[in-house]
């Protein structure tokens, strides 16, 4: 079978799936119901799988149809993008743009950058999802993924750009420090109440410790409270329930307004990396190229430093009065 033959019926199949009926698809394609039905039958015969369940009152795709639909949409989108690219030397970004970003970082930071992009390119229609799972851009039909964590080794079908690493700091509320004191050493820190991040499997994330010239160590501690959501961790620390190791992008405002203070700031260390990931097959599409360039210029994971004199536990101690 030639590549051209493999493309036959794909547009009709996608139209039927999107419209929910043969009749509506026929209207969209300016074809007869019979022509649409025959095209789907030929496609199913070629694939040796039924794509639609015709026994229900409502036309529904089979499991095989759902899988095939995702592939067809991706192929047709890529063909359309290639045709536009060849038709003009320069094309303004346009069309639907599928983007996925981490739930908390996306809501607090990345979405602002994306909305600024949408304002700059009104012909682009962003379709944004927020999830903390490691999505597959190819399988899920995504154009660009913002991801915290992962490896710098990606499948050949994907391209990526590293935008920097988190900065992790230990934080507490002024009220906690007033009640329990500020630990002056790592050993003392490990004796304080800990607020930890908990995973779905019941495990907890260790603290990352970079003490002087010693190698980075993963320190497992017993948590007073374990929470599976980053903003909930911040709330628990603000309420004075313990000390947590948090990314500065997550608590930048709290450190600035004094509702949180840094504990042992010399133990600040790098955390997870921030990546942009996109499909290699789509990287020349104007909308994708433009968004990657925009994110590379506007997304950061390490906010500007907060004055250490104002945001450390030591600043809460009484200061000596200078001599007259």
Would you write out the chain's pLDDT as a tens digit for each of its 324 residues?
555 566 778 889 999 988 888 988 898 888 899 999 999 999 989 999 899 987 767 788 999 999 998 888 888 877 776 676 665 556 788 899 999 999 999 999 999 999 999 999 999 999 999 998 888 898 888 999 999 987 767 788 889 999 999 999 999 999 999 999 999 999 999 999 999 999 888 889 999 998 888 888 999 999 999 999 999 999 999 999 999 999 999 999 999 999 999 999 999 999 999 999 998 888 888 999 999 999 999 998 876 555 444 567 655 443 333 332
Bridging pattern class, strands 217-219 and 207-209 = antiparallel
Phi then psi dihedrals of residue 35, to 5 deg: -65, -40
The answer for residues whose C-beta is within 8 angstroms of residue 85's C-beta and 6 or more apart is 91, 284, 285, 286
Per the structure block, which two tokens stand in for 132?
């903390």
Where would I find the H helices in 164-229?
174-180, 186-189
**pTM (predicted TM-score):** 0.67
User: Residue 314's pLDDT is what?
Assistant: 59
Phi then psi dihedrals of residue 156, to 5 deg: -60, -25
Bridging pattern class, strands 195-197 and 158-172 = unpaired
Per the structure block, which two tokens stand in for 156?
């050949």
Secondary structure (3-state) at 306: coil
User: How many contiguous H segments (helices) and E segments (strands) does the chain have?
Assistant: 12, 13
Q: How far apart are CA 220 and CA 153, in angstroms?
A: 27
What length does the chain have?
324
User: Residue 28's pLDDT is what?
Assistant: 84
**Residue entry with tokens 């496609």:** 43
- Contact status, residue 46 vs residue 39, Cβ threshold 8 Å: no
Q: Which domains can be identified in the chain, with CATH numbers? A: 3-86 (1.10.10.10), 92-303 (3.40.190.290)
Q: Residue 42 belongs to what H/E stretch? A: helix 33-47
User: Residue 85's pLDDT is what?
Assistant: 62
User: Residue 126's pLDDT is what?
Assistant: 94
């Amino acid at each position: 079978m030639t590549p051209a033959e493999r493309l036959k019926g794909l547009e009709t199949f996608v139209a039927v799936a999107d419209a929910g009926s043969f009749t509506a698809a026929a209207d969209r394609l300016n074809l007869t119901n019979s022509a649409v039905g025959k095209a789907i039958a030929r496609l199913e015969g070629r694939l040796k799988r039924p794509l639609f369940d015709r026994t229900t009152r409502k036309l529904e795709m089979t499991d095989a149809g759902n899988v095939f639909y995702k592939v067809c949409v991706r192929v047709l989108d890529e063909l359309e993008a290639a045709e536009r690219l060849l038709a003009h030397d320069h094309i303004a970004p346009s069309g639907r743009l599928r983007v996925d970003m981490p739930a908390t970082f996306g809501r607090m930071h990345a979405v602002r950058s994306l909305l600024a992009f949408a304002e700059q390119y009104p012909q682009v229609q962003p379709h944004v999802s927020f999830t903390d799972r490691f999505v597959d851009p190819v399988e899920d039909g995504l154009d660009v993924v913002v991801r915290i964590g992962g490896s710098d080794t990606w499948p050949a079908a994907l391209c990526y750009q590293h935008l920097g690493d988190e900065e992790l700091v230990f934080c507490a509320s002024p009220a906690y420090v007033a009640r329990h004191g500020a630990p002056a050493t790592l050993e003392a820190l490990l004796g304080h109440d800990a607020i930890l991040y908990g995973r779905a499997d019941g495990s907890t994330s260790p603290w990352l410790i970079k003490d002087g010239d010693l190698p980075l160590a993963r320190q497992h501690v017993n948590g007073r409270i374990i929470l599976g959501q980053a903003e909930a961790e911040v709330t628990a620390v603000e309420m004075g329930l313990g000390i947590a190791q948090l990314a500065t992008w997550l608590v930048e405002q709290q450190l600035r307004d004094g509702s949180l203070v840094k504990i042992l700031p010399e133990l600040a260390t790098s955390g997870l990396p921030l990546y942009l990931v996109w499909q290699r097959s789509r990287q020349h599409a104007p909308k994708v190229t433009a968004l990657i360039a925009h994110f590379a210029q506007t997304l950061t994971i390490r906010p500007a430093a907060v004055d250490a004199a104002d945001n450390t536990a030591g600043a809460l101690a009484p200061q000596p009065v200078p001599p007259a």
